[in-house]
Structure 1
């Protein structure tokens, strides 16, 4: 089992898996970036050199410095991504939940557009060989297959994809180099002067910036997948990836250099990426590009799974089923998210049809995510006691760059940007309602001192005038301290319907940051009457509480610490074990509550989401035949001051 330290060790396998899992998105951008920069404009030396300069400096400032050098430092027990970053800094200020939620939702929205645009860009290359070929059904078939194989785990995917991506990057580097040697002067484009000159003189500066931004869209996924590959593997493999990307962009620049004064032929679907391939190689190039596009989609999908699992742990998303297909840390599969993303991808294909139209929807939401990461990284740097002037410089530089890109991308709003923002907004509403509803609920969770009830619980257990509810009665409690208990549980035992039992059990679950922790602690609060078990479970351990609880009880029986034989004389004589019953308290909103209108709307939305997610008893893996779900009011209202007059 890979532990936290092994994960960050530099190794050939780690480098290969990094290539396979995390560079798909950023590594396939040469398929459409230069084509988007040129668009329908006339090809000029200013446009070529300025475009290349913008690409180089965007990759250097945004991807290399911000993500690879600075942001990768912010790892939480080996995990990366915006929610891991948020959990590192959330104690600093409550409002930090907002940028975390916005950033997370923007990334998920982006995950819906990445597979269609990358796979379409690759498949459209077939139009050069077979003009008029309908690409939409081919793309939908490829994407559907990709989502179906998710359930088998990405470690299998990483091992097969690593060598393919190595071939892809090497191919791009070699193709680019074959053109750069024809005109080495193209390297002067790395001078930032050309970027500044293009952006200050071109009337389309913001539209061009929106297209340039597409070259760095995978940077956020690179951080999200830190848990899959480890920091050192990402940093070393990025050197090779960036070199190959730059060579390819420069090669496309040389091809365009010899075409100055003309425009790209839209009818022929002319794309500089495919034009630098020799004719005999084209079909192989398209095949490798398609494989790379599938891998690009994979990077975003596995990133989305990581995001959702962290959101569930941070109580920002409803409980959903999370599977762990392999034993490798960071490998997971979220069925509900998988099918949601697939539906979104098919919708994108049906709405937009071709990659040129998708470029408009792409990039807008990711700029928002990057801005949110900047805010959280700044707080993280403050926590690490980095000098204030360095933090100010970081925030100033990156807010300026990202706000400029955001302005450039806003030009895309009407052409398709609305779609990704709409998806992002829907996802944000779920997170916002879920976290706010939890806050409202916590306001009304009242804890009482459990010692005050020892006497009455002992007496109730012995009171034969009360019908016995169950031999062993088990409650799940959220009280972190053994001295406390929710008043709702005492209300359920004593008032709702007095529940007599031989032994009362309280079970508390703590989710640990370590993946495979499996520990428990037992406290005998009232000997042979009231027992509390605290489970400490790793985030990879399936919470099958009834199985774990049974194991603990069997252990206690073996050691003679408890007696679970039925107290009914006829059964006791034959040593028959008493029955166990779990009671799950489900909070409902009573009509006579004092919530404000906005809070009522949030709670109504919350209860709809709760019905769609995993129920409490399923989330804890309880055997449904032994569970009673008891509805308790969220707010037990006090009688309002009403003046009633009695008439005699």
Structure 2
């Protein structure tokens, strides 16, 4: 495994990779930001200079200062992202689960609208060359192809991402400079005074601010992809990326000022600053950049959901690993849900200008949630209180203002991402809450009280042998206790004689990639407990991990798994293994509140749609027995029954 400290060193390869996978979203924002700012207003000097000033200072304060300088410090063993951040601080307060879940859902909702808006913005450049071309069908075809290739992995395509994005950013800088030289005085737009003038005097200031926010929507990806490239590569590459972005925005501003007092109409200043002979090449490069931006959001969504599954915030679902490349995964259910969501966005809004109305609202919420979690992290790291509270106050004010301005988009399409975010939140919150309700009613007993009877049962030949090696998955955090249902399963439901009883416990750690275990011999040669310590990014393949641990124990002479049957023992045949999975069934719930009853009913629906426990833990189904046990959520009602005496 790569040392996470080495990951943070700058390298040419890391620089190229960071350009390819991190900056897709923020790097394609020049396609639509100025179009959204101007909208239907006449082009005016103060609108363009003020808009340019707002863009520059938003990129500086929001992206550079908050994310590149401050948030990248919250490094969880080389990993970033809202769930990695939550894992760093979750022991500080239970309520931190709320901003973590809200932020995660907002990011996923953003992932549904990013591919349609970026690809539509790029493809609509063809309108300039081919008037009346039905670009919507091209957009649908590209989006569908993009989701189809996910199942094969993107490692081969990914190698081309870096060089393509170098071409993209360099092209934007050159195009911007070609117009800046026509009006060098445009650099005065970087003065924050023009931003103040625009926001103080334009009656549409709030709507403009919502449009300006689109320039920083990809900032969250800088932190989410920390584990792929490392801190120094992100920081160095951002200097280059920001320079190219600002130069392109300045070039667009010059073109707009050259068309003062006119209305923009269907024209896009991004394409207008391209020479006509270069237009078809520019559209091609823009389309590739848009596809890369979409790919980054899709991959990010897969990572986010896989982390949520490990942190018990999402139902267990099938996760595939199409390549051996680190971080490469594919989640079929999420892939096709995202695809359906993207096509729904295209069907509802049809053109990128309308999609801008829905874009930005959910990501503002995600950024606010990150601010809350980073504040707790900075306090945990013992930064001076005045700096921590200054950070919190400044960014709550900035992002609160952006949120208020984006709320104006709610009726124009923002409702769609809020609705998607709310549906995702309901799933995460229900799964988390139902687990807490279930755990409240799980009864634990002292395991030491049963040592003797388990030993005797193992040696009692009058009881048919159930399996040579019997394995139970336990949720008991301490080796001194066990669920009463497991004891009931071994001793009473059907007495299960075995040579050795194994208890396996999985503990999801706050670190991302840790993969450790410890073994306790509770009754030597008869009852053994294995505790797996797995990071929240480690696949929980219990079948493989358990086999490896047993092999190590046999190799060290700590356990003998040779069959005890005389005929098999003579030939040193290994005994059979059987996993017992206890599936807890909700049987009585009349003592739950209405909210808890609703939560449990919703949970049962989600459970039906998710992977079973045995599949979720990667167990070989041919060695698994599933036992259904009642999860009694209420004491049985007193029964009044009278015996009739027979005379």
> Would you say the 8 A contact 1:2–1:329 is kept in 2?
no
For structure 1, list consecutive stretches of 5 or more residues without a partner in the other structure.
none
Kindly indicate whether residue 620 of structure 2 is the aligned counterpart of residue 623 of structure 1: yes
> Would you say the 8 A contact 2:311–2:536 is kept in 1?
no
> Would you say the 8 A contact 2:87–2:511 is kept in 1?
no
C-alpha separation between the residues in 2 aligned to 1:514 and 1:67? 21
Cα-to-partner distance string for 1:138-187 (whole Å, 9 max, x where unaligned): 11111222223334445444421111111111111111111111111111
C-alpha separation between the residues in 1 aligned to 2:536 and 2:384? 35
> Would you say the 8 A contact 1:470–1:501 is kept in 2?
yes
The match for 2:354 is 357
More divergent stretch after superposition (541-550 vs 395-404)? 541-550
Q: Secondary structure at the match of 2:587?
A: coil
The match for 2:285 is 288
Residue 561 of structure 1 and its aligned partner are, at CA, apart by: 4.5
Cα-to-partner distance string for 1:61-107 (whole Å, 9 max, x where unaligned): 11111111111111111111111111111111111111111111011
Cα-to-partner distance string for 1:95-131 (whole Å, 9 max, x where unaligned): 1111111111011000000000000000000000000
More divergent stretch after superposition (546-555 vs 338-347)? 546-555
The aligned runs of 1:37-116 (5 Å cut-off) are 37-116=37-116
C-alpha separation between the residues in 1 aligned to 2:198 and 2:559? 80
C-alpha separation between the residues in 2 aligned to 1:205 and 1:229? 38
Kindly indicate whether residue 163 of structure 2 is the aligned counterpart of residue 177 of structure 1: no
Kindly indicate whether residue 450 of structure 2 is the aligned counterpart of residue 453 of structure 1: yes
Tell me the TM-score normalised to structure 1 length.
Answer: 0.95
Cα-to-partner distance string for 1:198-232 (whole Å, 9 max, x where unaligned): 11111111111111111111111221111111111
Tell me the TM-score normalised to structure 2 length.
Answer: 0.95
More divergent stretch after superposition (37-46 vs 578-587)? 578-587
The 1:61/1:547 distance shift into structure 2, 3 A limit, reads: closer
Residue 13 of structure 1 and its aligned partner are, at CA, apart by: 0.6
Kindly indicate whether residue 13 of structure 2 is the aligned counterpart of residue 7 of structure 1: no
The 1:295/1:554 distance shift into structure 2, 3 A limit, reads: closer
C-alpha separation between the residues in 1 aligned to 2:176 and 2:9? 32
C-alpha separation between the residues in 1 aligned to 2:586 and 2:537? 33
More divergent stretch after superposition (22-31 vs 371-380)? 371-380
The match for 1:148 is 148
The match for 1:635 is 632
Cα-to-partner distance string for 1:27-47 (whole Å, 9 max, x where unaligned): 111101101111111111111
> Would you say the 8 A contact 1:521–1:535 is kept in 2?
yes
Residue 311 of structure 1 and its aligned partner are, at CA, apart by: 1.4
The match for 1:482 is 479
The 1:565/1:240 distance shift into structure 2, 3 A limit, reads: closer
The 1:562/1:73 distance shift into structure 2, 3 A limit, reads: closer
The aligned runs of 1:185-264 (5 Å cut-off) are 185-264=185-264
C-alpha separation between the residues in 1 aligned to 2:568 and 2:328? 49
C-alpha separation between the residues in 1 aligned to 2:142 and 2:563? 60
Aligned length: 645
Residue 454 of structure 1 and its aligned partner are, at CA, apart by: 1.1
More divergent stretch after superposition (578-587 vs 515-524)? 515-524
The match for 2:31 is 31
Cα-to-partner distance string for 1:570-621 (whole Å, 9 max, x where unaligned): 6556655443221101111013663222112111211222222222111222
Cα-to-partner distance string for 1:403-459 (whole Å, 9 max, x where unaligned): 211121111111111110010000000010011111112212222221110111122
Residue 308 of structure 1 and its aligned partner are, at CA, apart by: 1.4
The 1:209/1:560 distance shift into structure 2, 3 A limit, reads: closer
> Would you say the 8 A contact 2:307–2:537 is kept in 1?
no
Residue 567 of structure 1 and its aligned partner are, at CA, apart by: 4.1
> Would you say the 8 A contact 1:329–1:515 is kept in 2?
no
The aligned runs of 1:341-356 (5 Å cut-off) are 341-356=338-353
More divergent stretch after superposition (117-126 vs 152-161)? 152-161
The match for 2:402 is 405
> Would you say the 8 A contact 1:175–1:277 is kept in 2?
yes
The aligned runs of 1:161-560 (5 Å cut-off) are 161-264=161-264, 266=265, 269-511=266-508, 519-537=516-534, 542-557=539-554
> Would you say the 8 A contact 1:82–1:100 is kept in 2?
yes
C-alpha separation between the residues in 2 aligned to 1:368 and 1:559? 53
> Would you say the 8 A contact 2:510–2:536 is kept in 1?
yes
Q: Secondary structure at the match of 2:600?
A: helix
The aligned runs of 1:604-619 (5 Å cut-off) are 604-619=601-616
> Would you say the 8 A contact 1:324–1:540 is kept in 2?
no
Kindly indicate whether residue 13 of structure 2 is the aligned counterpart of residue 16 of structure 1: no
C-alpha separation between the residues in 2 aligned to 1:475 and 1:387? 48
For structure 2, list consecutive stretches of 5 or more residues without a partner in the other structure.
none
More divergent stretch after superposition (354-363 vs 316-325)? 316-325
The 1:593/1:202 distance shift into structure 2, 3 A limit, reads: same
> Would you say the 8 A contact 1:154–1:302 is kept in 2?
no
C-alpha separation between the residues in 1 aligned to 2:328 and 2:153? 7
C-alpha separation between the residues in 1 aligned to 2:147 and 2:331? 11
The aligned runs of 1:562-601 (5 Å cut-off) are 562-568=559-565, 577-591=574-588, 594-601=591-598
> Would you say the 8 A contact 2:516–2:533 is kept in 1?
yes
Residue 333 of structure 1 and its aligned partner are, at CA, apart by: 2.9
> Would you say the 8 A contact 1:587–1:633 is kept in 2?
yes
Q: Secondary structure at the match of 2:632?
A: coil
Residue 525 of structure 1 and its aligned partner are, at CA, apart by: 2.1
Aligned-CA RMSD value: 2.2
